[in-house]
Structure 1
Amino acid sequence: MREFIVEADGGSRGNPGPAGYGAVVLDGATGEPLTEAAEYIGVATNNVAEYRGLLAGLRAAHALDPSARVHVRMDSKLVVEQMSGRWKIKHPDMKPLATQARAVFPPDQVTYEWIPREQNKYADRLANEAMDAGAKGRQWSPSESRAALDTPPAVPEPSGPPGDAAAGAARARAALAQGRAADPAAGGRAAGAARAGEGDAPAVQEKPGVEQAPDGERRPAAPAEERRSTPGWSSAPDLGAPATFVLLRHGETPLTPQKRFSGSGGTDPALSEVGREQARRVAEALARRGTIQTVLASPLTRTRETAAVVAARLGLEVTIEDGLRETDFGAWEGLTFAEVRERYPDDLNAWLADPEAHPTGGGESFAETAARIAATRDKLVAAHAGRTVLLVTHVTPIKTFVRLALGAPPESLFRMELSAASLSAVAYYADGNASVRLLNDTSPLRP
Structure 2
Amino acid sequence: MSGAGTGPTPGAPGGIGRLWLVRHEPARAPANACVGWLDLPLAAPDAARTHMQRLAQHMGHVDQVYASDLVRAHDTATYLAAALGCPLQLRRGLRELSFGAWEGLTWAQIQAADRNRYARFMTGWHDTPTPHGESYAALATRVAEVWNELSAEALRAQLAVVAHAGSLRVLAGLILGWSPDEVMARDLHPGHAGLIELDPREPALVRWNWHPDDRDEDERR
- TM-score normalised according to structure 1 size: 0.45
Shift of 1:434: 2.3
Amino acid in structure 2 at the alignment position of 1:290: G
Amino acid in structure 2 at the alignment position of 1:317: P
Q: 2:76 aligns with which of 306, 328, 335?
A: 306
Contact 2:191/2:211 (8 A) holds in 1? yes
**Aligned in 2, Cα 1:288/1:422: closer, same or farther, shift over 3 Å?**
closer
Matches within 5 A, 1:160-171: none
Q: 1:438 aligns with which of 207, 216, 220?
A: 207
Matches within 5 A, 1:48-447: 155-157=10-12, 240-255=14-29, 258-264=31-37, 267-273=38-44, 276-354=46-124, 355-360=126-131, 362-431=132-201, 433-444=202-213
Shift of 1:412: 2.6
Listed as ranges, the gaps of 5+ residues in structure 2 are 216-221
Shift of 1:363: 0.5
**Aligned in 2, Cα 1:346/1:248: closer, same or farther, shift over 3 Å?**
same
What is the CA–CA distance in structure 1 between the aligned matches of 2:12 and 2:169, rounded to whole Å? Answer: 22
Contact 1:276/1:306 (8 A) holds in 2? no
Shift of 1:439: 1.5
Contact 1:340/1:348 (8 A) holds in 2? yes
What is the CA–CA distance in structure 1 between the aligned matches of 2:47 and 2:75, rounded to whole Å? Answer: 11
What is the CA–CA distance in structure 2 between the aligned matches of 1:349 and 1:409, rounded to whole Å? Answer: 22
Shift of 1:262: 1.1
**Aligned in 2, Cα 1:406/1:318: closer, same or farther, shift over 3 Å?**
closer
Q: How many equivalent pairs are there?
A: 214
Amino acid in structure 2 at the alignment position of 1:320: L
What is the CA–CA distance in structure 2 between the aligned matches of 1:372 and 1:247, rounded to whole Å? Answer: 17
Contact 1:243/1:381 (8 A) holds in 2? no
What is the CA–CA distance in structure 2 between the aligned matches of 1:350 and 1:409, rounded to whole Å? Answer: 20
Amino acid in structure 2 at the alignment position of 1:155: P
Listed as ranges, the gaps of 5+ residues in structure 1 are 4-27, 33-153, 159-239
- TM-score normalised according to structure 2 size: 0.86
**Aligned in 2, Cα 1:398/1:2: closer, same or farther, shift over 3 Å?**
closer
Contact 1:241/1:429 (8 A) holds in 2? no
Contact 1:403/1:413 (8 A) holds in 2? yes
Amino acid in structure 1 at the alignment position of 2:27: T
What is the CA–CA distance in structure 2 between the aligned matches of 1:400 and 1:279, rounded to whole Å? Answer: 26
What is the CA–CA distance in structure 2 between the aligned matches of 1:287 and 1:2, rounded to whole Å? Answer: 19
- Deviation readout 1:258-316 (Å, 9 max, x if unpaired): 1211112xx2011111x541342222331344321211111111111111111112222
Shift of 1:349: 2.4
SS of 1:378 mapped into structure 2:
helix
Q: Which runs of 4+ in 1 moved over 3 A?
A: 442-446
**Aligned in 2, Cα 1:248/1:389: closer, same or farther, shift over 3 Å?**
same
What is the CA–CA distance in structure 2 between the aligned matches of 1:281 and 1:365, rounded to whole Å? Answer: 32
What is the CA–CA distance in structure 1 between the aligned matches of 2:177 and 2:59, rounded to whole Å? Answer: 29
What is the CA–CA distance in structure 1 between the aligned matches of 2:113 and 2:183, rounded to whole Å? Answer: 23
Give the equivalent residue in structure 1 for 2:5. 29
- Deviation readout 1:159-200 (Å, 9 max, x if unpaired): xxxxxxxxxxxxxxxxxxxxxxxxxxxxxxxxxxxxxxxxxx
Amino acid in structure 2 at the alignment position of 1:30: T
What is the CA–CA distance in structure 2 between the aligned matches of 1:292 and 1:371, rounded to whole Å? Answer: 26
Name the structure, 1 or 2, with higher relative contact order (CA <8 Å, separation 6+): 2
